[in-house]
Structure 1
Amino acid sequence: MNKLTILGNTHPIIGQKEMYSIVSLTNTGLGLSHQPFGELIKTSKREWDVMIQTKTGWRKANNNKEGDRVPYTFGQKSLKYKGIKIVVRQGEDYGELIIHPQRAKEQRISKVELLDVNYQKIPKGKKISYKDTIIARAYCIEMFNMPISFTLWEDDANGEGHNPMINGLNRINLIPVFDTVNEDGIAQVSFRLPEYTLAVQIANARTGLGDKDEGATHEYYVTADAVESHIQKASANVNVINPTYNPLPTRKREMPKVQVPPPIKPEIVPAKPKPEMDSPKFAITPGGKNREDLEGKLLGAEFVDENGKRLHSSRVGTLVFLKILAKDMKNKKVKIKIWEEDNFLWTHDLIFEKDLVLVGDTNFTWVHLTRKLFDKAKDGGTDSSRQDYFIEVIYRETSVKSAVMPVTLDAIPTEVSKGRSAAVIKEPISEKREDKICECEAKVKAFMRMIRIGEGTEDEDGYTRIVGGSSFADYGKNMSTHPKVYISKYDSTAAGAYQITKTNWNSDNFASWRNDNNVNDFSKESQDIYCVYLIIKKKKAFDNINSGDIDGAISKCSKEWASLPGAGYGQREESREKIKEKYKDFLKQELRGSSNLYIKAGFLEKYFGIHCCKNLPKVEKSDSSDIIVEFDGNIEEERRKVVSEKTKNILKKAAKSSGNKKVVITSTIRSPRKQAEAMYNNEKNGKHIKYATPGRQVLDIYNQTKSFGREKTINAMIEKIVELSKQGKRVSLHCVAESEYAKLNIIDVSYIKGLTDYKKFILDVANDSSVFKIIHPIKSIGTSGKINYDEGEPAIHIEIKQ
């Protein structure tokens, strides 16, 4: 056997591609000789693998390659392994190279992959259906805990690349889907194509340059943008079958009898934009076009001055307000276009367009009538000195009427729920639980059912499911014991409703416990019992579940079940919001006595000595029960309820240990309007907060429009905040979506009101492992670890992971 020597960088920077090749040291009888491997006799293929070292030894990383010279890129996840090595084999010859990945100095998204519903990479050219789910996965470098926004696009650009100008109107999800980068440098989201019912219409609405139609398939790609950074990465295209495509019938072609030179292909000139036929239009100048909204939703649009008085004319260079009157259109998105109408040539020139979210029946936005806008419409004649304008307001209803719902004979009918339903109510259902049902056990069972959602075993067959989807019967196994089937593709022996591995099932602690409690098989009941054992004995999560702290219980159990949010294993993780809603539904069912579990009532007392609802002892108040956490009076109820009990408990604990009696929360989540109002009030009252670039851009709008009055200025600021948000830029740390806030609570605590020893409070709250970041204005504390000093911070800013 010859030793193969691998040549390549042993200290690669994560995220950078490195090339590795091999040479051979052969025994010639005169000693070892060194020769390029390309000169060796090519008898068998060279196979490459990456091996990673874990607590249980070395295992393959499923990154197989073949060839004389191969590329490898080591990601963020590679930093956490005990050891990494590249190995190569050719027949009986073998070589290995130890790798020591190094941290990167710059943040970036290295690539975006598109996966199918089974988390397998979608091969190039493969066609998928509009019934499928596309999973977008972004591989990020040095971006832990940063939010990533994902957008699905239909590609009309010719060739391999993605042209943002051509595809600008082809965004499928108008609101980006967010995920946070985990410890392995991965953020991923799912796009269920059946949910984007307008996708086909959007894809068919526009075609590539020179194309007559979209053809039999649509090409989609996904962009991943780092929020607060100018970092974007696009995936490769994936082909989705166009369900509306009808190919033209083939025509018989006759060869010409004589050679005819091919006609010169005319240059394709894009059609000049023109207003839509049936959209509402409102004249600005006397010569402009008018057309009422037939649906009566958009009532009028006009230019007004700072006092709200209509303008019939204006000079180039003027900053004016555009007033839009609507009915029952709050929070609806419209597109505004300003056209110049040439009454001599009878043509239209588009000089301005923008999107606007209506805030009520009366709406304002601002337009700067620049020389550039004026020159757009100059094509000779009178419009070189005077121009007539009209406003077009376009509203596209985003809901799809039932006529386009796909209905087929072979579709599986939807099963009617046995619970509360608007369709079938067999008998009145009481929300009160029966006395014989233990509420503590109901909570634990609801949590067990919640776990099975992410493990893909929530159905009855889940009890006999092996990792990857096969069953016990496929391998001739039954429930007499753990099946012990190893699936090399997933490097796992996970099996059953809770995907229990052979190692865990046979662990010394549990094996001893099983013998003591007569849990002797792998039956459905035994699997349920083992799940409770893990929750109570191993993860110590019972108190969290029983007290209603489901976020805390999820955090404790996420390292046991990789599908729970925050697990950080690089696998698919369920949405925290989704599983918490499922938990609530399951708890209602369990309290009514409706369950699909096999564990028998009384299991808490029988197996774990917890008496619970039977002779329930009085609950001792926590040491922090005398601490008051209250909200400042200017925080509305909807902004209070998003702050979790976990966050409040952390504040109470820190207040208790630091000798404080009261904590006053002065800020939580902020909507774009609340953010604009806060910035307006601060500037108006002379309180100038220091902002980063996005915030300064909003303040520029304030300074440009402040003479027009409070409401118009705030509306203009809101519009700018929304525009920046679409670009993935946050004006304030507090201005985030509720889904993101549920993962990371962001609050401000007053150091003037409530706290008496705010210095010790800051130091004590920083000791909690869930506290991610603190920003404060106390110079004597300074900056250390997660504590950051900023003299411009108006309060104690705290971010707490949920």
Structure 2
Amino acid sequence: MAKKGVYKITGNIHPKIGEKTVYHVTEWYPDTPNSERRDALVTWELFKKNDTGQFITTHIKKKGIGEFTFGKQSYQSTFMVEGYLHGPERKEPMAIIVHPQKNDGPTSKERDIIGVKLTYQDGSNITKALSYMDRLRATVKCQNLEGQHLTLSLWEDDEKGDGHNKKNQFITKSPPIEVDTRGYARWNFTLLSTYITLANKREDDKKQHEYYILAEYNGKLQTSDNVNVNNPEYKVPPPTSRPAPAKKPKPKPDTPKGSTHQGSSNNQPDKKGIIKKITLVDKDGKPFKRRPTFGQTIKLIIEAQDVVGKKYNLKLWEHDSWGGDDLLYNNTHTFKADRQEVLIPLTHEMQTIGEIGIDPKNPNYGEYWTGNWQEIYAEVTLLYISTKSPIINVDIEEKPKVLDNGRSPWKME
């Protein structure tokens, strides 16, 4: 079976101790698929030669980057570095023998990105929300990267948490930028209005967009602080309209009424004289010896004249001294006789309304006359009662009267 994977690597075989040394794949086995010829898939492993001359693993492995720094005493030993896809072969050219050397001079600092900062192009700090078409500068402070080239990228932050997230929205990137002799790389750019569409791709309801710069070198990431940019396409949502509170129903002032309290002002006669009397009694038709309580059934007796077949609206109210009376019952009935009797159970729901009002979230002030002390009265409103106007005679042969303005009704103006 044809071999696949790393065939040859290169790198410094005499690295200085304390300095980072990088090894690279330079050749693959011919039968290795293109999809597998990727540095990110390579495992780099460090082996050490023992007293019997065999290379045994140090258990130091790295995926994707063949980067090793040898310790202070490593110059006394011989090592082997190998890169592979599937497993080590422990021989050259897919592995190389390494002899670390003493470093007589001071150990050089590691190559790295120290920080990233966003300012206006004139170098002034950003102290407020930006606008599109503002001109900005990204400044990267580097360590031991003089003469190297970096690529910076601009991102819009959509995800929670600090730092870079690959799920954030990529906007644009810089051309390769050379690090100057003082260790700085600078990128001047403009917040183009075309970025708005990209920034709104995932969240178009944001009042502001959040941008940051990402700098990357040798697999290490460094980001700037976020800056806010006003979103010109943001639309202020309309204020949430609160439904107007329902008006509490009230009994009509002129309708006939009858109460459980004989001496109550809620005993009111019918001014038209059709309803003769409204009485509330117990279910057996007897006057109350004590005030009725909820859970009982009471009887309403209506005595009227010439109302058989006519409809009427019956409302049952609980009287309150404060906050207005509460409507307990509301329904339409038909007179079956001039003396109408209706049995009405005083339910738990009625008691709740009578005690706290029609809106439990906004109970009526002063609703403490509960239980046996509630006064109940009935209101009766006749429906579909019509009144005729006086009858006048019309003579078909009489000429029409001439109007005061001299115009005849027979003439079209």
Higher relative contact order (CA 8 A, sep 6+): 2
TM > 0.5: no
**Larger helix proportion, structure 1 or 2?**
1
**Larger strand proportion, structure 1 or 2?**
2
Q: TM-score range by the shorter chain?
A: 0.3 to 0.5
Q: Of the two, which has the highest radius of gyration?
A: 2
Q: Could you tell me the TM-score, scaled by structure 1's length?
A: 0.17
